[in-house]
Structure 1
Amino acid sequence: MKIKSIVLCITLLFTVVSNVPQVATAETLYNEAYRPQFHFTCPANWMNDPNGLVYYEGEYHLMYQYNSSGDWGYDWGNAVSTDLVHWEDLGVGIEYSSSLGKCWSGSAVVDWNNTAGFQSGSEKALVAMFTSETVDPWYKGKQSLAYSNDKGRTWTYYSGNPVIPERDNFRDPKVFWHSGTNRWISVIYPGLLFWSNNLKNWDELSNPGIPSGECPDLFELPIEGSTQKKWVVTYQAGKYKIGNFDGNKFTSDTGELQAPGNFYVGQSWSDIPASDGRRIWIGWLNYAPDGPWRGGAMTLPVVYTLRDIPGVGQRIVANPVTELQSLRNNHYNFQNQTINPGSNLLTSNNINGELLELVAEFQPGTGTEFGFEFRRGGGTTPVKVKYTTSDKKISVSAGTAKSTNPAVTAQVIHSSSNTIKMHIYLDRSILSVFGNDGETWQDMPFKAEAANIGAEVYSVGGSVTLKNLDIWKLNSAWGTPTPEPTPGNIITNTYEAEAGSLGGAARVQNASNASGGKVIGNLNTMGDYVQVSNVNGGTGGNASLVISYSNGYDSARSLSVYVNDTFKQQVSFGTTGGWNTFRDTASISISLNAGTGNTIKIQRDGNDNPAADIDKFTVAAPNNSSTPSPTPPTPSPIPTPSPTPTSSPTPAPSPTPDFDGVTAVSVTTAMTIDGNLNESVWDINTNAGKGVIGAPNNSVTFGTLWDNNNLYVGVKVLDGNLYNDSTNIWEDEGVEIYIDSNHNHGTTYDSSDRQYIKGYNDTSLFEVSNKTTGVQHGWSAIAGGYSIELAIPWSNLGLTPSAGIVIGFDIGCNDDDNSGARDTQLVWKGTVDNFRNTSAFGDLKLN
């Protein structure tokens, strides 16, 4: 039986879990002066530990400890998202029981085989296991169940609760299905393990080997660059151990380790599909906010993996989920900038804001400290991210920083490539910093005046080279976008998908509930698309796009959006529960040209998970009767204590299109793969000039072609010192070709990724997983160096080629200058980690 908890006078008569939406509009509630705009917070009242994290039918469920009147958890709050970024509040999910007590922390799973017998309809039952507590403070705890048959909207207590009797200091169950023993496992504080066949009847395992710590979790993690996995047990304040688990006992290979991050407790999502494969984690950032929400915020959702760090060993690394890229708006890029004390690279280019994402790579020089300052202005102390060369630590600070538990501390970066990488998210009141691809992670809440939005990159005591910097202004996840201001009115137009042009196998299909009675479907194979033309961009500039669609699958699907033939972003289409049920996507920020010459295209690309049916496009564009007003004045930079500050000359950037890669030209010429590159169709003029190891003294250019059988890659290397005398091919002269054929920008290699190495004066071809079937290759001596040529069959990459397909791609060049090991490496777009991480690859588009 289910009732709504608005009938408060009779809730004590039934063992029912309530569902009271905390009604508020995003415009009024989620735009407070210090409200985080993409770190999750509850609408109001107290929030702490994340609970019941489970994925089902395209939705990520995030429940949390909630208290409407006091501090610390009493009920479970309830939120849901299709993309881990935009959250819908569902009110109270599991409510305090007068007979069982408070609903303390726990977890949730999908009972796929109905082992508990709770399923009553076609939907699989979601089952939550949590601690019921009746005696303060934390003396006694018992474990209880609640279940949902409507995708987590309402929850019902199990009539046989508690399923594990009360005992002292006994709480925080984390449940998962262990396939090796074909049974449920629950790890519970303090360091206990239980097993069950049906989630109702539990037996304790002796000698579990689990350390004692609040909110434990137990799962497998992949080791980057390897097919191996290891079991990890995590617990309070980011502590963990690595080892093995056989379904009965955890055996540790390490002592107690400390994960990146300064959250108090966290949890990983259960039931992430195997096709996704990520271990997604979120933590509770414990601090005192300045607003109606209390208890703090959640961290950004991150992906956990294990990395072998030279000189350190295997460690957890954490990187923000790629779904956060959906918030990106205006984009700026700088390369190879010398930053001196007093430099004003960002200020001089009018780059500032309260919501920013930065991806930076530095090469240390004579400077003793370098990094970024944010929220500058008004004579206040800015929010700062800094790296100090003396101790090799990255740290964060602010004049108005909020205290966290545990406290944010400086963290050591271990760099084997003499570069320092920072991935920074600036939220309205939280700064999140990831160092060297997730090796470090720090969250710092702060308070800053709304007018203080200045930003700058800086150096102290000397210079530093900013090898690459990407900056995005970000939209809010709560419906309050922050693009560049466009004054005037808005003009809105709707474009029916069936009126557009179609490509590939896309076709018009009938759908009675669609706006025009028809949709575009069958967007299933790469290159299938629907494009609407004559889109009105008004007076040009920032605009918004909403796509109406249906998705009858039981999980979210994805397709790619192109604006004026330029890739914008991948869009997630959550399940709608049927092919004749329609829903709108979240608003997508786009930029349009003035007038009606714009095009918008939905296409199935290599990294998409097809497919939704497309109903219509709704575009809101600026319609200004006069020219846009000038950009507001930029806050003055804070003076740097240097007698004679000098700033390096910097080009003024313009917003960079999302697709800034290379195009491969379609050819019909018969190609001879001998390394000579003497066919007239070759254009070897794209420069791969980004140094990631050492100080390169060679030059590399490349070109790409394609036909129905192969992808062709040609590379020319000019180098006066050529060696081929090492056992490992990558230690000598040679070219590396990296391919991410499903274009998922993964942080580890999967079956669609390749690393080919063709060496100078070498007849062999290396591929990291020996996937060389059908690949033709050759090299040739040329004046001042050498050239290489590859023909890579599409069948090797698992692709069917067609114009418009985009894949991940990069070029690397190894250089040995002294008959020893490799001295330097150049790449086109990526990093020194290209051999194991595809996230920084560039894009290659078939033309």
Structure 2
Amino acid sequence: MSRSTTSEREQYRPHIHYAPAANWMNDPNGLVYFGGLYHLYYQYNPYASSHGNLHWGRATSTDLVHWEEQDVALPEREHQIFSGSAVVDWHNTSGFGKGGRPPLVACYTGHTADNQAQFLAYSLDQGETWTYHGGPVLDVGKTDFRDPKVFWHAKSRRWIMVVVHPVERQVELYGSFNLQDWESLSVFGPAGATGGIWEVPELFPLHDEAGRLYWVLKVDLNPGGPYGGSGAQYWLGDFDGQAFTATTPARWVDHGNDFYAALTWNDLPDRRVWLAWMSNWQYAHDVPTQGWRGAMVLPRELGVCADPHGPVLAQRPVPELQALRQAKTVRQGDGIFSLSPHQAHELLIRWPAMPAAEVKLEFRSEAGSEVSVEVRSGELWVRRPVTLVTSSLDGYPGDHRAELPLHLDQFDLQIFLDASSIEVFAGDGRVVISDLLFPSEQIREVDIQFGGSDPLSMEVEVWSLKSSYGV
């Protein structure tokens, strides 16, 4: 991927998060692991850094860390290519395969001004080139009916499609034996947060530490998120091949302002990993980047953890990111840590669980405080102040908070700071806050203060991280 070196263009260019070299990007699409590659498709406008003329952009990776941007996969045709998913049709149920090669099949929403329907495309060369498959395979004659996530359900030996009716705040499940003929199975919702339209559903199984199986249903909404803009909610429950039944209340996936449209990789053995768009529809068109607009969160490995209030989803940065670690500073106790310019950083902070303990991290540039992270009174806070750069972004400044799991013996914070974002993981991934960040000047230091007990009980590690783009 070519990268400009001009300071204006690259001031907020991520060092370790995926972003295309130019133009607009939003939802991840078609995440699938096939042929030793992680395939990432996404909503992409190849003509401008604004939403419109949507194609599927494409990138690939061997390790979830280093991404190579590829040519557009699915170009706009008589309709825009809205969000969807991709599967490996190992048994050639679709009939698209040839010569014993399993086809890669994409199911996406074709969007026109007066209709949204679900279409197919297929590839016989591991996603390099694609063939569109005729007309829609699922069309109910609605202007809002989109974002199909398709997966193989082994127990019922058929494909399942999870798709939303945005205005009705409903998720509908369909079944198929050939990816082309679909029958309705069940409808979920309205439920949980309904203050905005529903989008980008996801349904997948996870096991907890004891081996118990849960199904996770995730759906995004806009507006109506934790702070009025975009947000993502989930339920844990059961899926019998026909219907999803929630056994927990709806909870927020992420307590920040910039996590949307998450999807998991299909066909990834032995673990479940997802990726999301790191932005918010409140200000996505107005963020102060030049020539490009949109990035992804760091990929996260998913699990289910016990909690006094019931099982909860846990998200942990994939361990492959540790390959980016360079210089390391270790200290017991608080103080000021210098941060290397033009690099991303990872911070790990641990301390024994103490009800009165307070931790504050102040990230500063020469212009002053750019963002702060606080733990106090059993809550995690990320505070984004108003700056000259962000004063015109409606919905950007503010405090984002989440309750911490107080039953743990040790508290922990894992923080990733990049050129234009901060992601904070706490409670072994039970709590996450993801926020875009546009500092007035480059952040040069972090002041870490520990109160309420002996500061020497706190362990701090600060890593500078190599660029995942090799520059």
Does TM, normalized by the shorter one, top 0.5?
A: yes
**RMSD value over aligned CA atoms?**
2.6
Other structure's SS at 1:309 match: coil
User: How high is the TM-score relative to the length of structure 1?
Assistant: 0.49
- The AA in structure 2 aligned to 1:217 is E
User: What's the counterpart of residue 602 of structure 1?
Assistant: none
Report the CA distance shift for 1:398/1:420 in structure 2 as closer, same or farther (over 3 A). Answer: farther
Match for residue 56 of structure 1 among 29, 34, 45: 34
Q: What's the offset of the Cα at 1:327?
A: 0.8
Provide the residue aligned with 2:290 in structure 1: 292
Aligned to 2:225: none
Which residue pairs with 2:302 in the alignment? 304
1:394 aligns with 2:381: yes
Counterpart in the other structure of 1:240: 234
User: 8 Å contact 1:209–1:250 — kept in the other structure?
Assistant: no
After TM superposition, list the pairs within 5 Å mapping 1:660-675 onto structure 2: none
**Which residue of the partner structure matches residue 280 of structure 1?**
273
The match for 2:431 is 440
Which of 206, 216, 219 pairs up with 1:221?
206
Identity of counterpart residues, as a percentage? Answer: 35
- Kept after mapping to 1: 8 A contact 2:263/2:275: yes
What is aligned with 1:258?
A: 252
In structure 1, C-alpha distance between the alignment counterparts of 2:276 and 2:369, rounded to whole Å: 28
| Equivalent position of 1:413 in the other structure | 404
Deviations 1:338-382 (A, max 9, x none): x4xxxx353xxx5554411111113477977423222x2324223
Query: Contact 1:392/1:413 (CA < 8 Å) preserved in 2?
Result: yes
Alpha-carbon distance between aligned partners in 2 of 1:351 and 1:133, rounded to the nearest angstrom: 45
- Residues 42 and 293, structure 1, Cα contact 8 Å, conserved in 2: no
CA drift of 1:208 comes to 5.6
Q: Does the 8 Å CA contact 1:143/1:166 hold for their aligned counterparts?
A: no
C-alpha distance in 2 between matches for 1:206 and 1:455: 51
Matched, 1:373 2:362: yes
Aligned to 2:330: 333
Q: How does 1:465-476 map to 2 (within 5 A)?
A: 465-476=456-467
Q: Distance in 2 between matches of 1:257 and 1:377?
A: 35
Distance 1:170 1:63 in 2: 20
Q: Which residue of 1 aligns with 2:106?
A: 128
1:638-787 alignment to 2 at 5 Å? Answer: none
Q: CA deviation at 1:54?
A: 0.5
Q: 2:448: which partner in 1? A: 457
What amino acid is aligned across from residue 288 of structure 2 in structure 1? D
Distance in 2 of aligned mates of 1:239 and 1:404: 23
| Count of matched residue pairs | 435
Contact 1:431 1:443 in 2 (8 A): yes
* Residue of structure 2 equivalent to 1:605: none
8 Å Cα contact 2:29-2:42 kept in structure 1: yes
Q: 1:364 to 1:178 in 2, by over 3 A?
A: closer
Between the two structures, name the one with larger relative contact order (CA 8 Å, sep ≥ 6): 2
Counterpart of 1:188? 163
Q: Cα distance 1:334–1:306, how it changes in 2: closer, same or farther (>3 A)?
A: same
Contact 1:75–1:92 (Cα < 8 Å) also in 2: yes
CA distance in structure 2 between the aligned counterparts of 1:366 and 1:213, rounded to whole angstroms: 38
- One-letter code of the match for 1:56? F
1:1-150 residue pairs with structure 2 within 5 A?
25-26=2-3, 28=5, 32-67=10-45, 68-69=47-48, 70-72=50-52, 74-98=54-78, 101-121=79-99, 123-135=101-113, 140-150=115-125
Q: Deviations over 1:728-754 (max 9, x none)?
A: xxxxxxxxxxxxxxxxxxxxxxxxxxx
Structure 2, unmatched stretches of 5+, are: 166-170, 192-196, 221-230
Per-residue deviation, 1:85? 0.9
Please list the CA deviations of residues 622-679 of structure 1 after superposition, one character each: whole Å capped at 9, or x if unmatched: xxxxxxxxxxxxxxxxxxxxxxxxxxxxxxxxxxxxxxxxxxxxxxxxxxxxxxxxxx
Aligned partners of 1:47 and 1:72 also within 8 Å: no
Task: String of CA shifts for 1:789-812, please: whole Å, max 9, x gaps.
Answer: xxxxxxxxxxxxxxxxxxxxxxxx
Matches within 5 A, 1:788-799: none
Asked if 2 retains the 8 angstrom alpha-carbon contact of 1:52 and 1:64, the reply is: yes
Does the 8 Å contact 1:116/1:198 carry over to 2? yes
Q: Distance in 1 between matches of 2:40 and 2:339?
A: 34
- Offset, 1:293: 5.0
Residue 450 of structure 1: how far off its partner (Å): 5.2
Task: Report how far residue 35 of structure 1 moved.
Answer: 0.5
Please tell me the residue identity of whatever aligns with 2:312: R
Shift of 1:55: 0.5
Matched, 1:383 2:367: no
In structure 2, what is the Cα distance between the partners aligned to 1:119 and 1:366?
60
Deviation digits for residues 712-742 of structure 1 (CA, Å, limit 9, x no counterpart): xxxxxxxxxxxxxxxxxxxxxxxxxxxxxxx
TM-score (norm 2): 0.85
Structure with the largest fraction of strand: 2
**Following the alignment from structure 1 to structure 2, what is the Cα–Cα distance between the partners of residues 316 and 144?**
32
